[in-house]
Copies of this chain bind each other. A is one copy, B any other.
Amino acid sequence: MSPLSRALSFTRREVLRLLAVTPLFSVAYRGGIAMAEDTAAPRPLAYRGEHQVKPLPFDPAKLTGLSEKLITSHHQNNYGGAVKRLNLIEQQLGGLPKDAAPYQMGSLKREELIARNSMVLHEAYFGNLGGHGSATGTFAELAKAAYGSLETWEAEFRLTGQSLAGGSGWVIVVYDPDSKSLHNAWAFDHTHGVAGGAPVLVMDMYEHSYHMDYGANAKSYVDAFFQNIHWDEVNRRLARLRVA
């Protein structure tokens, strides 16, 4: 069994424990009607819990200034753990009775947001690593249009990253379809996000992104991040968003 499949599969004990903690489908009758009431039917998409870990899109031994050990642990434990947790949460949501106490729904939806954004942002993060060079193409044009110059865009992006050093968070360049422009967004943890913004360049600032290699020296990590940006992928994302 590969580390990845291990990260995703549930042990029999885990499943039994989960069934014990919350009424899943099999025990839904105990608490009025559950969200996903028909236990014979396949669970609907929202409660399916079958997200899969995507493999790294690059050789983790070949980044500049970010070690294989760091990247592999980050991918397996932090990203893989989020996917696994999201699957549990979705199934637990499906088993929640429709007349549950509101805080039970609220806290599960918060956990879902944490796990889901962690999954999505980690995929975007690993997806925009594995390259090199300077910003090019559509991204470079849009960053210049929004910030006056690439230098100013980068200065704001880096300083926002520095403000998260020693803690958690993300710096996310989103494309905003309304203003048709790029925007640097601050996230203090997985829950934060720009309403309607599509992430096109993502930098993880959780300490698990750099501590093994750089200790508390977040600045050197940000330098290393910039050396590995896959600008072609960033521009492909913009193209998928139908940005000329």
Contact = CB atoms under 8 A, between A and B. Distances in A.
Contact of A113 (B73, B108, B192): B192
**Highest count of chain B CB atoms <10 Å: which of A69, A107, A108:** A107
A36 B44 CA distance: 35
Interface string A99-143: 111111111111111011100110010000000000000000000
Contacts of A9: none
A12 interface: no
A239 interface: no
Contacts of A37: 152
Interface residues of A, number: 98
A185 interface: yes
A106 B186 contact: yes
4 smallest beta-carbon distances between A and B, as pairs: A20-B31, A106-B163, A193-B193, A44-B148
Interface of A: 14, 17-23, 30-32, 35-38, 41, 43-47, 69, 73, 77-78, 81, 85, 88-89, 93, 96-113, 115-117, 120-121, 124, 145-148, 152, 155-156, 159-160, 162-168, 172, 177-179, 181, 183-186, 188-199, 206-208, 211-212, 215-216
